[in-house]
Structure 1
């Protein structure tokens, strides 16, 4: 009989890249908590901003996401082993001794390190996402006891397709040729050619993920390979902390920006289905994908679209309505203005609203700060928000369709007990409860707001509400007053014209009245 998930991972040595990232933290936490009998977990880490890898690991283990591990099994942290290195360096920057250790001991690889910025320059994105993966594949090929290589990609790796199947697609360009081009070509020429090179995709992130999958597939047959493609990754659904999130990417940034009154308009088709998946479900799926692939030892690359297509059907409008509901229930203490605004189906209406609700207030606030001798910030903030929205709005103005039978089939490959522990069925998710925890999570983990300050936050929220209504009424009054004043000026002008015509000696009263009527 096949071992269950916990039995399979017993005694295994796991190598993880991107362990300090959002998905990486969730994956690491789940392994420590529910696969605690692993022998060792090797983490590729580098010194960052003068902080050593050892210090970074210590800081990582102190994060709230690991609270349950510290409480139930603190000794499991001893299984974490640092591999000093860098995904962007030749040979991963790993020492010869560490290379030999991994070649001898490693059984499972989770490769999740990637640059997730959509606006990264092509050279940097290729070096991190594509060449970095080649460095990992080269190392994996030399490992003596490797059972499975799991590569994390994205469900938005082929945006040109109407439906994304669970299979590897041939890249538009050969990945090795692209790596070669960015290596020798000067930055100015590459920047000029970049729009043409990545024209099949909306940004360098999506493009490099697409060509990297083709590269990964070159190694099929050499060792078991699986590709996991999550859609938009969002806050924790169930474990370890409902609502936990530690970055401002994607929907999280929109939740916070809208809740703080900074984002008031967005180009989005409200009737389109949204596809986002919680980070704990992604981590669970990765663990099961490695388990199944390690048991089956397939010769061909296995692909899993970690998406909600056919599982949960929520529109962007429904999600935004729920988010607005809970942002008003659990407001932020520090906010620029009362939440408001709406999503726009048409780009022109969004641009008009952006001018009046984003740009004009930004210039007014900065002008006031300048007059008070304070440092200005609103114009630069709005520029960054506008750039972020422009990137994200590509995904909110198009409907996406993903096949995910392989992913949904994972639950049929494990025992009922493992299904409870490594849940992948998101059909039982309550959107209302999830958005509630999401908003609370952004307050606590992203904005560092104590739940105890909610009464004060709600009081400030009411003040912002009254100020918002007052200024809206004032604005309407000024418009009406302006129209009323202009109507008096217009009437006076017509009367002056009428008297002037009547005063002309060669014009009779009838002609004067006729011309006056035309003017009116």
Structure 2
């Protein structure tokens, strides 16, 4: 069992161009020039963000070095095959074989000391790696506390220990989350907020089997306190760990909000497997499966394009790698302060977008509406769960990530996830962008355009269009082109949608008329029908 301690005993690395004069000269480098001949180590590289990061790194400079991607060892799964399949995705089509060969898998476990690498591999990496991007995490809000600590906190400690062994560390960038401070109110600054618990004590607790005997949800809630879930709690701890461990080193923390598809790079509307975060809701929405959201109409839903998060990460690698800094730099990658989008506007945009770009098939006319409290719960059970129990929904219409689930099981999974997300849609979180915009202003004009992460310029209607078409194209393997057939298909369901209301009334009236007679049955049927329409 590994004992977690503060790592003062690990010698700090020599930082490439550590001399102050060299750092000042390096400021004139463009982002691409900074990455030239650098070798990069990535955790979380097989995930949605990680995949786009790999592509973006390949795109920075033709002479970028090796990109080492940490992958977990799985039985009967060759890590080279995993990376090979990853590189077959459409976003890598523009690269030739020699360029793609720069992406090299290294098998290891995130929470193990030195990732469990053998000595020869560890020596190779410590001598060659210059830049670390740490984005691996368990992003499930419902993850058990011990699991979340081991992945999000201990995993971060392992990457820090690794960074301190590197012969030439140029930059270390940690992908955190804007929600790590969601237990705070008011304007959240680009600073690390002190955690209630000591991160080292939490890591020791995760390694102590006796601490988890009869560990209940009540005990978990006592520990995470006013954090909404174990995800935000452990992410906040990881940031505190970085402040403690990375002083004087070229380190940065990037905090994205709700990550959607890409705005522009490497292509419009890339959504990966559309299973991460809120993208899963969009995938279910366009098939007419998810038809409601919970939250205040006036609340801001802080979404950000995936490529903006990657751009911010690349810029922060360049920024801390070309300057001498005393503590890790922290920036937000958010939109709410400069280009707010309310839940009401978001729902209207989605409904308008799917009407313009309907998919090849759907269960029912896609349409979402905001509901709260008992209204939300009643609608969900009447119009999500009940139809799933009665009708068989073909697997090709269900999101691909759930091929072995019945429609009913999928609805239950969605409801659990939606309720966990409701916390963030029911409150107005505000995130300062002062430091992020200041850092972006230091870029040259060409880099400002290529590596933009200022969401002021985002047209949310156009962005949702791109994401929706991306879900159709990359997730459901449908055509990206909307044809006249699609519009006729939509009109057919438009008619059926309103015809459905008539059939519901006829069914209710028929039952009540048989039970109560015309005089009593008709007004009661009308009242029930009006209530269902309102619902």
Shorter-chain TM range is: 0.7 to 0.9
Higher mean Cα deviation, 390-399 or 424-433? 424-433
Q: How many residues are treated as equivalent by the alignment?
A: 481
Higher mean Cα deviation, 45-54 or 278-287? 45-54
Q: Could you list the per-position Cα deviations for residues 60-80 of structure 1 after superposition, in whole angstroms to 9, with x for gaps in the alignment?
A: 11111212334xxx5322322
Q: CA RMSD in A?
A: 2.3
Structure 1 pair 107–323 and aligned structure 2 pair: CA distance change class (3 A): same
Structure 1 pair 91–323 and aligned structure 2 pair: CA distance change class (3 A): same
The match for 1:242 is 268
| 1:136 positional shift | 1.0
The CA distance in 1 between the partners of 2:50 and 2:475, in whole Å, is: 17
The match for 1:165 is 189
Task: Say whether 1:189 aligns with 2:218.
Answer: no
The match for 2:506 is 477
Contact 1:366 1:376 (C-alpha < 8 Å) held by counterparts: no
| 1:456 positional shift | 4.8
Q: Could you list the per-position Cα deviations for residues 89-123 of structure 1 after superposition, in whole angstroms to 9, with x for gaps in the alignment?
A: 33212121121122222211111111111111111
Please state whether the residue corresponding to 1:68 is helix, strand or coil: coil
Unaligned runs of at least 5 residues, structure 1 = 368-374, 493-520
The match for 1:313 is 340
The CA distance in 2 between the partners of 1:358 and 1:491, in whole Å, is: 30
Larger Rg, first or second structure (1 or 2):
1
| 1:188 positional shift | 4.8
Contact 1:276 1:307 (C-alpha < 8 Å) held by counterparts: yes
* Candidates 75, 82, 91, aligned match of 1:56: 82
Task: Say whether 1:127 aligns with 2:156.
Answer: no
Contact 1:304 1:407 (C-alpha < 8 Å) held by counterparts: yes
Contact 1:366 1:379 (C-alpha < 8 Å) held by counterparts: no
Please state whether the residue corresponding to 2:263 is helix, strand or coil: coil
| 1:81 positional shift | 2.6
| Deviation beyond 6 Å, 4+ runs, structure 1 | 489-492
| 1:484 positional shift | 4.9
Q: Could you list the per-position Cα deviations for residues 420-461 of structure 1 after superposition, in whole angstroms to 9, with x for gaps in the alignment?
A: 221222222222211111110000111111336855544443
The CA distance in 2 between the partners of 1:36 and 1:385, in whole Å, is: 43
| 1:491 positional shift | 8.0
The CA distance in 2 between the partners of 1:25 and 1:62, in whole Å, is: 11
* Candidates 447, 450, 472, aligned match of 1:418: 447
Structure 1 pair 460–395 and aligned structure 2 pair: CA distance change class (3 A): same
The match for 1:500 is none
Contact 2:334 2:455 (C-alpha < 8 Å) held by counterparts: no
| 1:481 positional shift | 4.4
Contact 1:54 1:82 (C-alpha < 8 Å) held by counterparts: yes
Contact 2:248 2:327 (C-alpha < 8 Å) held by counterparts: no
* Candidates 459, 469, 473, aligned match of 1:444: 473
* Candidates 221, 224, 227, aligned match of 2:247: 221
Task: Say whether 1:11 aligns with 2:37.
Answer: yes
The CA distance in 2 between the partners of 1:309 and 1:461, in whole Å, is: 33
The match for 1:180 is 204
Please state whether the residue corresponding to 1:190 is helix, strand or coil: coil
The match for 1:380 is 409
Structure 1 pair 366–15 and aligned structure 2 pair: CA distance change class (3 A): closer
The CA distance in 2 between the partners of 1:282 and 1:491, in whole Å, is: 60
Unaligned runs of at least 5 residues, structure 2 = 1-24, 394-403, 522-535
The match for 2:19 is none
| 1:224 positional shift | 1.9
Structure 1 pair 482–318 and aligned structure 2 pair: CA distance change class (3 A): same
| 1:269 positional shift | 1.0
Please state whether the residue corresponding to 2:140 is helix, strand or coil: coil
Task: Say whether 1:268 aligns with 2:295.
Answer: yes
| 1:222 positional shift | 4.9
Contact 2:144 2:230 (C-alpha < 8 Å) held by counterparts: yes
Higher mean Cα deviation, 191-200 or 239-248? 191-200
- State TM-score, norm by structure 2: 0.85
Task: Say whether 1:153 aligns with 2:176.
Answer: yes
The match for 2:12 is none
The CA distance in 2 between the partners of 1:58 and 1:464, in whole Å, is: 41
The CA distance in 2 between the partners of 1:232 and 1:154, in whole Å, is: 9
| 1:312 positional shift | 0.8
The CA distance in 2 between the partners of 1:460 and 1:325, in whole Å, is: 16
* Candidates 339, 352, 376, aligned match of 1:325: 352
